[in-house]
Structure 1
């Protein structure tokens, strides 16, 4: 818990209002500090003072009374394993952390480095906020510094895009591939040992099998068996998502996976409510508003839709915008054969709804439509976003292989956009069939407020780009209007029409596997207009946070 304990101490001296406000100078003399730094550093210090306030601190906890004594013993082991993933992600994102922090005197700047896992502001286009730091490398540490895409593509390496390895240069300058389980052998062995200790304790057979297989997978980079075992779990109270999973950090090829972990406690009541929806995927796939050749695939349905309280975030999922729902595994073959597990992180979701979405709605949603903002609609929109990852198309219709391989670095943002709009498509269809309760107006209006929340994540985020594309497409198609006072009013009929048009556009782009066409769409549509930026700036001026950071760990939970 090395990094998190330091971050808690740094932030402890900051006053909490609507977000983390600026820490006061301990001597009360800002002029003294200003003399120690250059004008460039002074400008960046002012930037940090403003930007650190965009985060709201949230305590991650759950009701432990529903857990057995054994489960309460297992939780600390899972958290320790997750903390190792956090350290590994630092090595992937910014391995010079400790040397950088040793040069920083200002406590707020240190805190901002911890929040961003490096000296680049993840929610503002990866803008550097420390003097002398250049642009963030697109390939992070996955590739040699300065290596171009063309150099790797033209190389004779056999496994150029293996997601569980890095590319380095040997002593002769030749490119070589080093697997994660070799590069991080010591750390992964420690994490594996912790999972095996947890497996010895647990009384749940499915969870025991998964923990043992995942422990072995961490030290071999072969995750297939553990992914299947994870999907087979049905009666577990605890869960841990752990390993190199998402490709967001690799902006060069969207190929290499980053380490992360979530430690989860199942909410059995909410999970039971959600169980029926996965079985409806084939019927919803058939009704997609797109040409027949783009919806021939059969989505896997042998999976679960569950709600959890998340009690620990680590690594990639804790960097930048915090994930509030998970759809895994990412392996397309497993998705087609068996499906995915959709995990809704209910406590984190509720924190974002209360502290961010509701205040945004009060500022930017038409006064007469604010009555339609509610948590159940927000929960459903996010939930069906994750379910919708299972809809659409995985293999291109043009012979270019999997969509992910064809689109490379353009894949993630478009896939998130697909899930956004197809999630809304699912909500609409289920409401019409009477399979979902509620007023369509609440889902559409809450979705609109959700777009305004997510576009604040910025252009460096796949989710931010996806929401910017949706906003601009819906605006172009009259799905909402901007009132003279700067609030937004949904046209419910045109909203549905725009939803279907955008669904068709995205699935077609994916099915064609045309990376150049997707890049053109991103350049033209995944941008924030000056008018929208002006409206978003009002939110900052009002002190409405952009995202949340966590107070978390065994001490917060009260387990040892």
Structure 2
């Protein structure tokens, strides 16, 4: 049942469906089959992110799915739940729109519900440097040991094994259908990352996907906004894109000219940026996403977020042309 000032219809009325499209004519039959595998993986990322948001999220989602079969209002409520990936209104500081649900927990489902900031901070002081790195890093959840009641780190690869294993299998199957070596390498390495919890090698492979590859895929634990307690823990999301080569080439022409533009600026030499580096830009058209990716519906992203990887290997800016255009349709 609904909670709050707005009805479910009023909540949904704030969203406007917009049709987005991408030109798939450049893809061969195997690439199209790979896209289908990747879309299946996106749907599993939805399940995974729903789990990360709140400990009661999966059960509520299952209940709404069942109720929506026979009740139109529950069907609308399910639609709103799915848009928000939980029972909280994203427009009003995460107030619940489902009766009986408390405010959105800052701990999300990354930490025990009863864990406080002070308890966590005191606990990490007792850890070794390596263990502290994991406790405050992107890729481990924090749980209480059932016997000792003490906090402990659980790697994502273990905590989410039931979903990461089929996701890895789908990435492997997609990779086997693709001829482009750099994308094939990324998908296989990322599939392995989901099993080993080590993301460095696959992040570098993502940065090195060849410019002429028609398919662009981003998937993994990246953004930390869902962790409102510390912003340590990364949420899983996935984008599947088709590259827009003409627009990518146009933008890269300008970024490659930045140093020339800098040299002609009417400022004293001491104010010039002598080490100006351009970030690679890829313009794409999105065809599907999953997990944390649509919250909110972003028009671009600059990844990875790991500072050590950025220092060594750089980052990549992905601009979603059809999503940007869709925002102006309304």
TM-score normalised by structure 2 residue count: 0.85
Aligned pair 1:342/2:317, yes or no? Answer: yes
Higher RCO (C-alpha under 8 Å, 6+ residues apart): 2
**Matching of residues 343-382 of structure 1 within 5 Å:** 343-355=318-330
Deviation for aligned residue 1:214 = 1.1
Q: Are 1:61 and 1:311, in contact at CA under 8 Å, matched by a contact in 2?
A: yes
Q: 2: distance between equivalents of 1:113 and 1:256?
A: 22
Q: 2: distance between equivalents of 1:110 and 1:79?
A: 21
Q: 2: distance between equivalents of 1:200 and 1:111?
A: 35
Q: Using a 3 Å threshold, how does the CA distance of structure 1 residues 121 and 46 change in structure 2: closer, same or farther?
A: closer
**Matching of residues 256-335 of structure 1 within 5 Å:** 256-279=233-256, 301=278, 304-319=280-295, 321-335=296-310
Q: Using a 3 Å threshold, how does the CA distance of structure 1 residues 277 and 296 change in structure 2: closer, same or farther?
A: closer
Count of residues paired in the alignment? 309
Aligned pair 1:231/2:231, yes or no? Answer: no
Equivalent residue for 2:153, pick from 157, 177, 192: 177
- Please name the residue that 2:115 is paired with: 147
Deviation for aligned residue 1:269 = 1.2
TM-score normalised by structure 1 residue count: 0.52
**Matching of residues 543-558 of structure 1 within 5 Å:** none
Q: Using a 3 Å threshold, how does the CA distance of structure 1 residues 251 and 275 change in structure 2: closer, same or farther?
A: same
Find the residue that maps to 2:310 and give its secondary structure.
helix
CA RMSD of aligned residues (A): 2.6
Deviation for aligned residue 1:262 = 0.3
- Please name the residue that 1:54 is paired with: 14
**Matching of residues 529-544 of structure 1 within 5 Å:** none
Equivalent residue for 1:125, pick from 89, 93, 100: 93
- Please name the residue that 1:245 is paired with: 222
Find the residue that maps to 1:66 and give its secondary structure.
coil
- Please name the residue that 1:187 is paired with: 163
Q: Are 2:19 and 2:326, in contact at CA under 8 Å, matched by a contact in 1?
A: no
Q: Are 1:94 and 1:117, in contact at CA under 8 Å, matched by a contact in 2?
A: no
Please, which runs of 5 or more residues in structure 1 have no aligned partner? 1-36, 356-560
Find the residue that maps to 1:134 and give its secondary structure.
coil
Q: Using a 3 Å threshold, how does the CA distance of structure 1 residues 297 and 177 change in structure 2: closer, same or farther?
A: farther
Find the residue that maps to 2:18 and give its secondary structure.
strand
- Please name the residue that 1:112 is paired with: 80
Please, which runs of 5 or more residues in structure 2 have no aligned partner? none
Counting helix residues as a fraction of each chain, which structure ranks higher? 1
